[in-house]
Each structure stands twice: as C-alpha cells, then as structure tokens.
Chain A
C-alpha cells in the first residue's frame, strides 16, 4: 500500500488540475442564465471517466495514480456545489421546472453514463470511489 501522505498529495495535485480545467472551460463557455450546459457536460463526462478508471493500466498498477486521477483529477473536475447553487438560483428566479429538470437531469445523465461505462469497465476499488 502506498504511503497515505503520498496518496493525499496525489489527490491534491490531481484535484487542483481538475478544478482548473473546469474553471477554464467555464471561462470559454460560461453557463449563463438558462440551463447550465457547461457544468452539466463537465459532470456527465467526469462521471463517465471515473466509472472507466480501471480501464487505464496506470490506474490499475498504482494506488497513487488511481487516487490522483480518480478522486483527485475527476473529483476536482466535477462539482456538486455548483449544481446545488445553480439549482437554488433557478428556483429563486422562479424557474421551478428548469431547476428540477437540471438537478434531476444531471443525476439521471450521470447515472446513465456511469452505468454504460460500467458495463465495459471493471468495478472501482472502494477507495477510488471517493
């Protein structure tokens, strides 16, 4: 087992890289006032990639790399807080249907992505689900 401080460092570095990538995508294609498509797409893609982590030989070989890429890079890339806040903001604006569609639509699309990729990828070790 890799030392836990090395694994934590890998999660920190991966998380920083994933968050910066999300931030830059948001600069290129800001979410705007309607359906937050950019955050939606980021979350769906990040979920699909995490479900497929074990397809990557590097992640299968090394606990440190698996943590850096899974809980680190992909955990930092995807965001739950922005989705909650966007849902709150849409509700506050009176767009109840849009808010519900966004919150439930994100969940549904992410679960479908995880399910589809999960059919071809080996299951994740419990640690890498975090």
Chain B
C-alpha cells in the first residue's frame, strides 16, 4: 500500500512538469507534450532495463513517468490538429515514444 504514496510523490512532480513545459513549448505542434511523452518513455525503458522494482519503480515508473506522460492530452491535441498535422503529430509521438523506450532499455542493458 505504501507504494501508492511513492506513486503520488512521483506524479506530483511529473504532472506539473508536463503542464509547465506544455505551456512553454506547445505551439503549431505540441512540442512540449511530445517531449515529455518521449522522455518519460525513455526513462521507463531504462527502469525496465535495470529491473527497477518495488518502491523505486512506483516512484519513478508509475509515478513520475506515468504522471509526466499523458495519453489524454495527446489524443485531444491530435484531434484538434486536424488530419494533416494531427497525423504528423501522432506518428511522431508513437514512433519516437517506442524508439525512446527501446533506447532506454538498450542503454540499461
């Protein structure tokens, strides 16, 4: 149960960091949201590669990475960007996110 407190602590840093970067960097494309989603995928890949578990995984993985990354904002932004830019944004986010997770996992190995 105490793992839930670590999750809360990690997310209470990750979520406002995402919001702050989004306000600064989101423009014609939501670069801030893209950056936090890719960065969180990289860090989570590192955690899994290093076999981080228990309280540390709760804090960094489920908390910080989960709180910093977002699917809901990503989906709403994709819709609002329209067909052309929305497709570019979605492809970039999914591709770079997957690549970042793989890179993190590989770097940890």
Contact = CB atoms under 8 A, between A and B. Distances in A.
A113 to B, nearest CB: 7
Contacts of A50: 72-73, 75-76
Nearest to B10: A19
Interface in A28-81: 43, 46-47, 49-51, 67, 70-72, 74-81
A127 B23 contact: yes
Interface residues of B, number: 57
A18 B67 CA distance: 8
A88 to B, nearest CB: 4
Contacts of B15: 11-12, 14-16, 18-19, 71-72, 75-76
Q: Report whether over half of chain A's contact residues are helix, strand or loop; otherwise say mixed.
A: helix
Interface residues of A, number: 60
B90 A23 contact: no
Contacts of A51: 75-76, 79
13 contacts: A15-B16, A16-B67, A50-B73, A50-B76, A75-B15, A78-B70, A81-B37, A82-B65, A84-B44, A91-B98, A124-B80, A126-B26, A130-B26
Interface of A: 7-9, 11-20, 22-24, 26, 43, 46-47, 49-51, 67, 70-72, 74-85, 87-89, 91-92, 103-104, 106-107, 110-111, 113-115, 118, 123-124, 126-127, 129-130
